[in-house]
Amino acid sequence: PAVYYQLLHDFVRSQFDAPVAVIAAGHAAGYVMQLASVQPTVWSKIVLVAPTWRGPLPTMGATQQIAGAVRQTVRSPLLGQALYKLNTVPSFLRLMYRRHVYTDADKLTPQFIQQKYQITQRPGARFAPAAFVTGALDPAQNRSDFLQNFQSLPTPLRLLIGEQAPPGSMAEMEAIAQLPNVQTDRLPGSLGLHEEYAAEVAAIARPFLQNE
């Protein structure tokens, strides 16, 4: 997490001389809010789309020890490569997308799944998913720490929630929605809301960012 946070911090500092609007989906929301808590005026507007801060295994209740063991196993040669291969076959990718990412199964065409499969087969591709799934990329350790980033935030913030998000992720999004000064919209979709319903997300985000 420290590397991703520092990357975001350095990029914003080097590229922008004034507060800038930002749209963040999934775990990116955690890094955006971390930076906002340290530099409250860095963002002019914030849009969070189906934000998350906790990886799948920790969400399922896995301890750090179990998650760490799984991560090291997937990172290992031979056994890790074999496990990764089993978890990235097109049929399994489609199952995972249908359960957690997309809500419209008709969009999960063979061509779509093949494109996603090709991404998973890039050299070294197994390391980032292993880190994400086991919580090594989590921008916070608990809900309290995550929500602390929103306290006394002067920046206008819009929250977009996918109505079919998994229960654990939905609970965390609803916790954000209960905070003061958070504008909340609910749309069809799940954790892939920004991708599956990009036009609907843009229809809300654009006027908000443009002060319409």
Residue at which a domain ends, from 106, 133, 160: 133
pLDDT at 157: 98
The residue type found at 49 is V
Asked if 113 and 156 sit in the same domain, the reply is no
pLDDT at 167: 95
pLDDT at 212: 60
Mean pLDDT of the region 85-112 = 97
Q: In the chain, how many domains are there?
A: 2
pLDDT at 188 over 70: yes
Does the predicted model carry a pTM greater than 0.85? yes
Asked if 181 and 146 sit in the same domain, the reply is yes
Average pLDDT, the chain: 96
**Percent of the chain whose predicted confidence (pLDDT) is above 70:** 100
Asked if 201 and 173 sit in the same domain, the reply is yes
Q: In what order do the strands lie in the sheet with 20-26?
A: 20-26, 43-51, 157-162, 182-187
Asked if 48 and 142 sit in the same domain, the reply is yes
CATH of the domain at 184: 3.40.50.1820
Pairing of strands 182-187, 157-162: parallel
pLDDT tens digits, one per residue of 10-47? 999 999 999 999 999 999 999 999 999 999 999 999 99
Mean pLDDT of the region 43-69 = 96
Asked if 74 and 120 sit in the same domain, the reply is yes
pLDDT at 211 over 90: no
The count of other CB atoms within 10 Å of the CB of residue 26 is: 19
Residue 1 confidence class, pLDDT cut points 50, 70, 90: confident
Mean pLDDT of the region 161-182 = 96
Q: Write out the residue range of the structural domain in which residue 84 sits.
A: 61-133
DSSP, collapsed to helix, strand or coil, labels residue 166 as coil
pLDDT at 112 over 70: yes
Using DSSP, how many helices (H) and how many strands (E) does the chain show? 12, 4
Percent helix, strand and coil across the chain, each to the nearest 5: 55, 15, 35
